[in-house]
Structure 1
Amino acid sequence: MDMTKLQPRRIMGMSGVLIGVGITLVLPLYFLYSGPPPAWDVFTRELINLFVLVLFFIFFACFSHLIREADQASGWLASIVFGAGLLYVAIGLIATANETGVVYGSPGHLLDPTIDGPLADANILMHGSIKRLLTTVALLAGACAIKRTGILPSWAAMSAYTVALCNLLFVPALFFGHDVTRFYSAVGWGNSALVGSFFGYWTFATGFAALRPKSDAPIS
């Protein structure tokens, strides 16, 4: 395989794997404390989130590039994947800035940035329904592109459809309050933590698949 074609695939693969690692590291930090977390906890998880979001951007850019490279007729799907992915990253960056701002605005660090203060209220849909909908759009387009181009194994498309459906089911959760201890609410643990992590673990699995040599690659 031409190295110029192999490089974006490798970068996508490494980005996907690192996203999964980052999500695995950051999730426990949200559940370490029953009350307001100390500043170090918030700053640590937001720093990890920043790197994860940058990796998501790289993943989406390389993924959409591979789609166009494999099939020009699927370029519209690549545009949807990259557009939804770019919005996903932008929303994530805004939410990260808001959560960090709550800590800066509370000198005694007596607020939990996920639930306390006006910035937390502004973040509810960002962590919930908005991200769930953007994830659904990106994965549905990505799954269709994988089926059409064969750039990843067929299981990557089927799992993308499954994760997209799970995310779509949580979009209406905005009608069910904002109790973080509930499974199905606008910012409940089932919404923002469990289902929200599926996207990252999908990129983790597909990242490994992208790093593996393609079975149909020509043998020199």
Structure 2
Amino acid sequence: MNLSLARRLTGITGLAAAVALLLEVPLYFVYSGAPPASNVLSRLLIGVLALGFVLTFAMSFREFVAQASPENAWIGRLAGGAGLAYGVVTLVSSGLEAGAVIASDHPIDPTITVDGTYILYGTIGRMLLAMFLGSVGYAILRTSVLPRWAGLLTCGLALVNLAFMPSLFFGNTPAHFYAANGWGTTALMGALFSWWLLGTAIALLRRPKPATT
């Protein structure tokens, strides 16, 4: 894969992931009480599709960094591995939640979560996403594949995710901002990640290929 193709593939998959995630996030705020199973399954389906694009974005970014700056390929590999781990862990938690919904004939009580999924969505997800964003931001700063401000912004978002790791000490009520699966820990962080993906993808698709020497 050459540099131009790696850039386009990274940008396109990032854009697709961002669009899917931006479609998913509003579904969390449609109902003030317990959402019906159809709502939960719809957002899970969109989220699974988005995560597929996120996985492809992470792997494409790894190749993009390797092509743009071979001496910094290790950073791209770190980003790709962290992105892969984040995607897989979130897919597992989505599968557990979907299984619980399908097995139930009643609307989902937002104060009840399948045992363990709120840790996967929350603390574990925040840690893995921080690793992914931190390595992507560092790669941008080291290789200049995007403007310096983009790297700094990405590193800043990684720190925000790290700040939500201790949320597991504050219960698992989704209506609470800083709970293990609270709307700040999950929905807000997901929205910020969506907008980051969108901006990064547009920058990759619009920025011309660097001149080769």
TM exceeds 0.5?
Answer: yes
Unaligned runs of 5+ in 2: none
Offset of residue 35 of structure 1: 3.2
Deviations 1:13-51 (A, max 9, x none): 111122221122111112222333223212211111111
Residues in 2 aligned to 1:63 and 1:215: alpha-carbon distance in whole angstroms: 15
Residues in 2 aligned to 1:100 and 1:35: alpha-carbon distance in whole angstroms: 19
Query: What count of residue pairs does the alignment treat as equivalent?
Result: 212
Match of 2:93 in 1: 95
Q: What residue identity is the alignment partner of 1:116? A: I
Q: What residue identity is the alignment partner of 1:75? A: A
Match of 2:42 in 1: 44
Residues in 1 aligned to 2:81 and 2:176: alpha-carbon distance in whole angstroms: 31
Unaligned runs of 5+ in 1: none
Out of 112, 115, 132, the position equivalent to 1:116 is 112
Offset of residue 141 of structure 1: 1.2
For the pair 1:192 / 2:190, whether they are aligned, the reply is no
Offset of residue 52 of structure 1: 0.3
Coordinate RMSD, CA, aligned = 1.8
Q: What residue identity is the alignment partner of 2:106? A: H
DSSP-derived class of the 2:116 partner:
helix
TM (normalized to structure 1)? Answer: 0.89
Match of 1:209 in 2: 203
For the pair 1:150 / 2:167, whether they are aligned, the reply is no
> Is the contact between residue 81 and residue 142 of structure 1 (CA under 8 Å) also seen in structure 2?
yes
Q: Which moved more, 1:185-194 or 1:34-43?
A: 34-43
Out of 20, 27, 38, the position equivalent to 1:29 is 27
TM (normalized to structure 2)? Answer: 0.92
Q: What residue identity is the alignment partner of 1:176? A: F
How do 1:1-20 residues align onto structure 2 when only pairs under 5 Å count? 4-20=2-18
Residues in 2 aligned to 1:86 and 1:217: alpha-carbon distance in whole angstroms: 30
Residues in 2 aligned to 1:138 and 1:67: alpha-carbon distance in whole angstroms: 14
Offset of residue 216 of structure 1: 4.1
> Is the contact between residue 4 and residue 209 of structure 2 (CA under 8 Å) also seen in structure 1?
no
Q: Which moved more, 1:50-59 or 1:136-145?
A: 136-145
Q: What residue identity is the alignment partner of 2:132? A: A
Out of 158, 162, 178, the position equivalent to 2:172 is 178
Q: What residue identity is the alignment partner of 2:103? A: G
> Is the contact between residue 16 and residue 205 of structure 1 (CA under 8 Å) also seen in structure 2?
no
Q: Which moved more, 1:191-200 or 1:168-177?
A: 191-200
